[in-house]
Amino acid sequence: MKNPNLKIYLLSALLIALYSCNSNEEAITNSTHAASQFKVINVTHHDGHAFSTGKTPSTTGKYVANPGGGVMMQAFYWDVPSGGNWWNTLSTKVTAWSNAGIGSIWLPPVSKAQNGPFSMGYDPTDYFDFGNYNQNGTIETRFGSKTELVSLITKAHSENIQVYADMVLNHNSGGQLENNPYTGTQTYTNFTGVASGKFPRTSADFYKNAYGNNDEGAFGGFPDLAHVTPNVQNWLWLRSDGVGKYYKNTMKFDGWRFDYVKGFGPWVVKDWNANVGGFSVGEYWDSNVNTLEWWANNANSSVFDFACYYKMNDAFDGNNLNLLNDDMMWKRNPHKAVTFVTNHDTDEIYNKQLAYAYILTHEGYPTIFYRDYEEWLNKAKMDNLIWIHNNKATGTTSILYADNDEYIARRNGYNGNPGLVVYINNSSSWQERWVPTNWTNAQIKDFTGNSTWLPTTQGDSWVKIQSPPNSYSVWSINM
């Protein structure tokens, strides 16, 4: 179902005189815009404030929350080098990331897991072992020691970067065998001997148990935590020395990425947020925007915008940019939509640079994938898009034009910030279009540098812009 808040206006204008734009483009002020129909779709629900990253300005940090909101870095990928040096590697990156405009980093699960020095952390054993206990065949985690983790968080905060922990609350691994009265068998559900001595749990804390046979979902055959049990609730989010409050108040994490939230009810994240606080985003892997919105509202949390992800994949790789007119979470509620191009689990979009141009100019809280930024894409182009997002991408969104190869949208500005017009061109040749802007009799420029035009908007705010082949341009007032 389309967003009922979308207002569709059909604007048409008769071509009186045709002018081709040259490098000066001053002559545009005397011409009239081309006769083409624009379907202008206004997304009117966003007030233009920065998104809920929880960031506050700092006089010492290099990044300050700007009108466009924050940019998150997923600071890992699947199978990052083992050996306990990843936290140190990230510590060498955060100053440059802050200088580029990154406002937060998302870390992999930080606690000791069953696979010890080789685990990516998604099979948690001891939530309070950050690489400081000899357990599961190692003292350090795959990523490093507790001391190195604390040093990374401290360094990130000194650069005014927030740090989000990846929380795996659905399942546990690495427990000892015990006689399970609920199954009549032996199960690996005895976690009373974890090295930290904290969050002891037994078969009574996993499904099936006295509370029932199951909840919303189990994963990988691991013991499935029963969040309805008082012991689990106490240790995860209620106790002052429990997981959530220890991570926030002692380890100094600023927020949470919740793994596999399909596995338990949204009330779990809602209760965590109410008792612990901090930014939160859930991995509800579903392309149905109605389902994403339902989960975000009931969890009182942001959610990864998988609807946007799959639409971008079909649009950019399938040469059908019309699909960007379709409904997505960022259009429903941009304050609860975390947009992304790829992550450690899925990497389907081939035309990534255009996808990043899309999420970094549109509403939502955009996430950049470590390998895209550090290894695979042009870092200068990425830095440019981050700057554009932080400084120009403000206000509501109006989709001005879309066909198979071209997509043009306008951010309408907010509180004195002029906004922008983004032109994405997925064809093999330069394209030009007349578009309605927010600006009257104003010189504009392409802040990507992909076009050298310096056109001036007409008295009715229309202007002719261009975009290079298989690329994009981003226009705003030349100031």
24 annotated to bind ligand: no
> What does the pLDDT read at residue 67?
73
Closest CA to 408 of 394, 426, 391: 426
> What does the pLDDT read at residue 50?
40
Give CA–CA dist 49/415, Å, rounded. Answer: 9
Indicate if the alpha-carbon torsion angle 98, 100, 101, 105 is positive or negative: negative
> What does the pLDDT read at residue 6?
32
| CA triple 66-71-76, angle to 5 deg | 155
Provide the pairing of β-strand 255-258 with 279-282.
parallel
Give CA–CA dist 234/297, Å, rounded. Answer: 24
Give CA–CA dist 376/369, Å, rounded. Answer: 10
> What does the pLDDT read at residue 45?
43
Alpha-helix residue ranges (DSSP H) falling in 70-185: 86-91, 94-100, 146-158
> What does the pLDDT read at residue 34?
46
Give CA–CA dist 226/379, Å, rounded. Answer: 44
Are the C-beta atoms of residues 208 and 229 closer than 8 Å to each other? no
Residue 464 CB burial class (10 angstroms; 0-12, 13-18, ≥19): buried
> What does the pLDDT read at residue 479?
79
> What does the pLDDT read at residue 65?
67
- Residue of 25, 215, 283, 374 with catalytic role: 283
Tokens encoding 276: 């612990």
Please state the φ and ψ torsions of residue 299, each to the nearest 5 degrees: -95, -10
**All structural domains of the chain:** 7-46+397-477 (2.60.40.1180), 72-392 (3.20.20.80)
Are the C-beta atoms of residues 409 and 435 closer than 8 Å to each other? no
Q: State which amino acid sits at residue 24.
A: N
Within 403-448, strands assigned E span 406-411, 420-425, 431-436, 444-446
Are the C-beta atoms of residues 455 and 21 closer than 8 Å to each other? yes
Are the C-beta atoms of residues 280 and 298 closer than 8 Å to each other? no
Closest CA to 216 of 255, 168, 267, 287: 267
- 406 as an active site residue: the answer is no
Are the C-beta atoms of residues 202 and 133 closer than 8 Å to each other? no
Closest CA to 359 of 113, 145, 57, 51: 51
- Residue of 259, 305, 363, 406 with catalytic role: 259
**3-state SS, residue 300:** coil
- 259 as an active site residue: the answer is yes
Those residues of the chain that have pLDDT short of 50 are 1-38, 44-61
Calculate the CA 258 to chain-centre distance.
13
466: enclosing H helix or E strand = strand 462-467
Give CA–CA dist 442/209, Å, rounded. Answer: 68
**Plot region of 86 (φ>0 → left; ψ -120 to 50 → alpha; else → beta):** alpha
Count of other CB atoms within 10 angstroms of residue 471: 19
Give CA–CA dist 139/173, Å, rounded. Answer: 17
Q: State which amino acid sits at residue 231.
A: N
Within 28-148, strands assigned E span 38-43, 72-74, 104-106, 112-113, 124-126
Residue 185 CB burial class (10 angstroms; 0-12, 13-18, ≥19): exposed
Give CA–CA dist 285/397, Å, rounded. Answer: 25
pTM for the complete prediction? 0.90
